[in-house]
Amino acid sequence: MQDILGKLSRSWVDKVGTEFEKPYMQQLEGFLAEEQAARKHILPPKALWFNALNSTSFEETKVVILGQDPYPTPGHAHGLCFSVQPEVSPLPKSLLNINKELLSDLGVDNQHTGYLQPWAEQGVLLLNAVLTVEAYKSNSHQNRGWEAFTDAIVQSVNDEKQHCVFILWGSYAQKKGRFIDRSKHLVLESAHPSPLSAYRGFFGSRPFSQTNAYLQSHGLSPINWQL
């Protein structure tokens, strides 16, 4: 893990670098080393474990979207929640629903792609609660320590920034974001975009237009959601 820490964005090292010295992170490092030694296929590739942080600096962060864990299908995950590599087709169903809501909300048609890197480069922190997964085994790296690390990331944004938008889709993300200070940030909660729940409050929630209206009301540039 230390080799990756050396490549982590300096802005995030300054905020959460001390987490790497804590026992839970050392235990996580041991678990991941054992998984690799057993030749298990871990996703995304190691160089992309911290892609969310390296794509969106602390200073640039103005929107946080919380996901759960990476896509378990090889070739899909690249370290940004809900995002897939440019060549992936067809898109995961949750991502298709995100694109449907964006089209309904702002008239933005992204149905041609699920590669959300341009959002990250505008200040949208696309953060999964768990940053790795074993191929074809969803949630296989839960409760190994990643959650404490990503909690520290969310806490630093909550504590040290003003007027950020936190987009929490589904009960898992809402529980993770329960401590966010709603007096200085906007928290948008709805059902998850999964086909199992999208019709129970995700469709029609208009998170993209609400995000931009809030940012502009506080003198911040809106997100160009078009990909």
> Annotated catalytic sites, by residue?
69
Q: What share of the chain is helix, strand, coil (3-state, %, to 5)?
A: 40, 10, 50
67 DSSP β-pair partners:
128
Helix (H, G, I), strand (E, B) or coil at 167: strand
How far CA 106 is from CA of 190, 195, 202, 211, in Å, comes to: 17, 21, 15, 11
Residue 81, both tokens: 């929640």
Q: How many helices (DSSP H) and strands (DSSP E) are in the chain?
A: 9, 6
Amino acid at 209: S
Cis peptide before 90 (omega within 30 of 0): yes
Q: Order the strands of the 165-169 sheet from edge to edge.
A: 124-128, 63-67, 165-169, 186-190
The torsion region of residue 192 among left (phi > 0), alpha (psi -120 to 50) and beta comes to beta
